[in-house]
Structure 1
């Protein structure tokens, strides 16, 4: 007897309209949302850092510009102050000892005494220096420029002594010791047939002087000195 074998029946499932079955499980979807949120936070952090960097650069440039403006204003102010000092005749820097003596009048022809000068009138002045009996006394030790100028002249006699010469000297006195610093020698009335003789004798150089040193001028033939105002015969010094 033949057996009839019946094949199993196929079962089909029909989805209802609007029903969707996702291929990803819910846990995977949560991880994706967490990754997207982290990426957005990182991008936001980078954007904030970029804005902070730009703001700091702007602030730094503003500070630099402010400092430049302040420095420029300071330079301009100092320049104007220097110009005002220059126009007003003020000396820039520390005050240094100086003196200028004029108005020489020869009353005593003794060679043992220094030439006598005017120390306060006309162009003469004393600044941190002392004057006494023809000598300038240093009040501060240092390097000084010392100078002296004598205007000389005489009506020459008929008979001329060719050995006649003068000595104009600058000397330093320290306690009881005298040291010649500069000297100028020259003959006078040594040109035959000349009715008059004129000469200007100038001495000037720098020396190291100590406090208390006295500087004075000596002249061998004082009758040759022709003091004419404050500009032809003078004596002075100033610290360098």
Structure 2
């Protein structure tokens, strides 16, 4: 009877499907009979948040499109402004050419004194170069102011003379080429003079006089050049005169007259 008391009955555990023995469990710490958890009691696996991922992807795409749109807008705006500036400069250049060809340059404060908004002062470069004009019979000499190498900038050309509109230091020059078929030893005179409404008489600035410049019965040619710096006043008018206009060769490379402001 004692042996029967020590007989060990196998432990039986119940599951949701069938009964298993205790030897089938890896350890005695599992749930006893009647408390085995049901398979449906296990915690659910985490589900990936796909909606949030799609939302982030959609937001990134919108942001990319916005950046591209802004960059394109700024680029087109810059191109438009550049084209506007180019057209504006072309219009100003055309108007300046028309005024320069007529011998008149607008004397507005912006063009003469420039803008003084903290930037460098912009001024019109006052200068002129006149070339000889053929078929002349009277004095002072006439000049070509628009064709060939002739030009005007900030200086007026009126009644055969250059008119100064701004006082200052100017370099004045003139070259005359004399040529004759026979020699008469007549003195050759080349002169630059000025006039001003405030003075009654002319004022000689420079003069050149040549004698014994040729040999009898031979064709001859002689150049005369004048050039110096003068302090000219407003409304001064400068002219060129010679002793004999019929002896002057009026080719533009041989006879000319001009000045420029220092």
TM-score, normalised via structure 1 length:
0.54
- Residues 197-219 of structure 1: CA deviation (Å, up to 9, x unaligned): 10011100000000100000001
* Cα distance in 2 between the residues matched to 1:106 and 1:166: 19
What's the offset of the Cα at 1:231? Answer: 1.4
Aligned equivalent of 2:204, options 177, 180, 188: 180
Q: Which runs of 5+ in 1 are unaligned?
A: 1-91
TM-score, normalised via structure 2 length:
0.50
Aligned equivalent of 1:214, options 221, 237, 240: 237
What's the offset of the Cα at 1:151? Answer: 1.2
* Cα distance in 2 between the residues matched to 1:106 and 1:183: 24
Counterpart check, 1:146 vs 2:172: yes
- Residues 150-173 of structure 1: CA deviation (Å, up to 9, x unaligned): 11100115xx4x4x2011000011
- Equivalence for 1:120: 146
Task: Give the ranges of 4+ consecutive aligned residues of structure 1 lying more than 6 Å apart after TM superposition.
Answer: none
* Cα distance in 2 between the residues matched to 1:103 and 1:202: 14
- Equivalence for 1:133: 159
- Residues 102-159 of structure 1: CA deviation (Å, up to 9, x unaligned): 13224223xxx311001111111111111112100001000000000011100115xx
- Equivalence for 1:171: 193
* Cα distance in 2 between the residues matched to 1:218 and 1:207: 18
* Count of residues in Structure 1 that have an aligned counterpart in Structure 2: 140
Q: Which runs of 5+ in 2 are unaligned?
A: 1-120
* Cα distance in 1 between the residues matched to 2:155 and 2:246: 29
- The verdict on how the C-alpha distance between 1:133 and 1:188 changes in structure 2, with shifts beyond 3 A counting, is farther
* Cα distance in 2 between the residues matched to 1:187 and 1:118: 29
Q: Contact (CA 8 Å) 1:104, 1:234: kept in 2 or not? A: no
Q: Residues 28-67 of structure 1 correspond to what in structure 2 (within 5 A)?
A: none
Q: Contact (CA 8 Å) 2:131, 2:257: kept in 1 or not? A: yes
* Cα distance in 1 between the residues matched to 2:152 and 2:173: 15
Q: Contact (CA 8 Å) 1:130, 1:137: kept in 2 or not? A: yes
* Cα distance in 1 between the residues matched to 2:122 and 2:249: 38
RMSD: 1.9
- Residues 162-189 of structure 1: CA deviation (Å, up to 9, x unaligned): 4x20110000111132100000101266
- Equivalence for 1:235: 257
